[in-house]
Chain A
Amino acid sequence: KAGVTQTPRYLIKTRGQQVTLSCSPISGHRSVSWYQQTPGQGLQFLFEYFSETQRNKGNFPGRFSGRQFSNSRSEMNVSTLELGDSALYLCASSLDRVDNEQFFGPGTRLTVL
């Protein structure tokens, strides 16, 4: 069974631009969560989607948004990029709840110049 895939793996943007990251969950998984990892803050929860609905959202500004499609694939968008948005963005999928069966993708490394 294929794992969680994220595209692109690496991305370089400049301040003020916007970016869209993509995540394909494991086949059959309906819950997709997004996390931001930075050296100083560890993994921080961004949002979680289940059946195309956002069920939970972390403490991030409105510049961070996401969506989930009917095939469970998910995208997250960051608008008006800031230098501090440079991070590893991780996507994780699970069948339903975000329990121990949550599988992570390799992440997208975003660098904002």
Chain B
Amino acid sequence: DQQVKQNSPSLSVQEGRISILNCDYTNSMFDYFLWYKKYPAEGPTFLISISSIKDKNEDGRFTVFLNKSAKHLSLHIVPSQPGDSAVYFCAARNQAGTALIFGKGTTLSVSS
């Protein structure tokens, strides 16, 4: 049973517009969420995170929103750039801090 779900395998956006990537989770015990970006032939790199005590975290062009009641989080990229084209993974950390549970990823394509 998948605990972290990214239901959109792919997303295409034009340069300069907003990209919204979504993620749902089922385990209400998750207390920390992260987004990673992955280019081909490279390992994932950390992008942004949010604690369950917050509902929003911002870092430059990237903002993550958390809706605990809906068990839903989203990553907003504004404005989108061609260099943002990559696979984006949503992850949740278990309370012991000893495992990250990842979604299957969403491939973002930003066209110029």
B102 and A97 contacting across the interface, CB-CB below 8 Å: no
How many chain-B residues does the 8 Å CB contact rule pick out?
Answer: 25
B89, CB-defined interface residue at 8 Å: yes
A106 and B98 contacting across the interface, CB-CB below 8 Å: no
Residue of B nearest to A49 (CB): B98
How many chain-A residues does the 8 Å CB contact rule pick out?
Answer: 29
B43 and A98 contacting across the interface, CB-CB below 8 Å: no
Shortest beta-carbon distance from B106 to chain A in Å = 10
B96, CB-defined interface residue at 8 Å: yes
B46 and A100 contacting across the interface, CB-CB below 8 Å: yes
A75, CB-defined interface residue at 8 Å: no
A106 and B104 contacting across the interface, CB-CB below 8 Å: no
Q: Answer whether A106 and B96 are a contact pair too, CB < 8 Å, given A41-B104, A42-B89, A42-B104.
A: no
How far is it, in angstroms, between the C-alpha of A72 and the C-alpha of B4 when the chains are bound? 29
A107, CB-defined interface residue at 8 Å: yes
